[in-house]
Amino acid sequence: MKLIILDRDGVINQDSDAFVKSPDEWIALPGSLQAIARLTQADWTVVVATNQSGLARGLFDMDTLTAIHTKMRRELAAAGGSVDAVFMCPHGPDDDCTCRKPRPGMFEQIGHRYDVELAGVPAVGDSLRDLQASAAAGCSPWLVLTGNGKKTLAKGGLPDNTRVCDDLSAVADALLQDN
C-alpha cells in the first residue's frame, strides 16, 4: 500500500498560535484538500498524525475535536478526497507521553495499524518536531513551507533526508510524478 502521514495544523489547515479550538477556527489552506483528493484518487492511504495538546490544556474537549474533524472530513469529501484515520496525541508537553511529536509513538501506532514498514513512508509536517518524529520512526520527512514551515526552514537543523516543498499541493505533485 502507498501510505502517507500528514501533520494537520499548518499542513492541511491554517495554524494558529492560539490553537484551533472550534470547527469555525478550522480553515483549510489553499489547495490542501485538492492535494489530498489527488493522492486519494491515486490510491494513497492518507493518515493524519497531530499533536493536540489543547485537550490537555483544557482549551477544547474531545467532542469539539471530533466536530473539527467532522468538518475536515466533510470538506475533504466535497473535494473528492478522504483521510483514512486521524491519530492524535491528547497530552501536554509535561506529560512525558510517547506519542507527542517529536517522539515517534503515533507513527509507530500507524505502522502497527496498517501493518506496514515505515521506511520510506512520506511524513509531511511544518514544524521541526514533525520531521524529527518522522525521522525517528524511519519515515521520509517532508517539510512544507506553509504554517510554521518557513520559520522551521530558517532555523535549520532538519533531519538529513528532509525534502522541502512549498505546500501540500507540491508534495502531491512530487509523489504523483514519482509513481
Q: Which residues are catalytic?
A: 7, 9
Amino acid, res. 8 = R
CB of 73 to Mg ion, least distance (A): 19
How far apart are alpha carbons 126 and 132 in whole angstroms? 11
Considering only residues 3, 4, 5, 9, which one is a binding residue for Mg ion as defined by CB under 5 A?
A: 9
Which of 118, 117, 143 has its CA nearest to residue 129? 143
Specify the residue, 97 or 176, whose C-beta has the smaller distance to Zn ion.
97
How far apart are alpha carbons 1 and 170 in whole angstroms? 21
99 binding Zn ion? (CB under 5 A): yes
How far apart are alpha carbons 18 and 97 in whole angstroms? 23
Residue 112 marked in a binding site: no
Q: 159: which 3 cell numbers?
A: 533531519
Specify the residue, 16 or 22, whose C-beta has the smaller distance to Mg ion.
16
Specify the residue, 80 or 93, whose C-beta has the smaller distance to Zn ion.
93
167 binding Mg ion? (CB under 5 A): no
CB of 42 to Zn ion, least distance (A): 31
Residue 91 marked in a binding site: yes
Amino acid, res. 131 = L
Could you list the beta-strand ranges (E) of 39-103.
44-51, 85-89
Phi, psi of 173 (to 5 degrees): -55, -50
Residue showing the smallest CB distance to Mg ion in the complex: 10
What binding mask, one character per residue, do residues 117-156 give for Mg ion by CB under 5 A, x or -?
---------xx-----------------------------
CB of 60 to Zn ion, least distance (A): 16
97 binding Zn ion? (CB under 5 A): yes
Site for Mg ion in 10-49 (CB under 5 A): 10
89 binding Zn ion? (CB under 5 A): yes
CA distances from 26 to 9, 19, 89, 120, 171 (A): 9, 10, 18, 30, 21
Residues 6+ apart with CB under 8 A from 61: 55
Binding residues (CB under 5 A) for Zn ion: these are: 89, 91, 97, 99-100
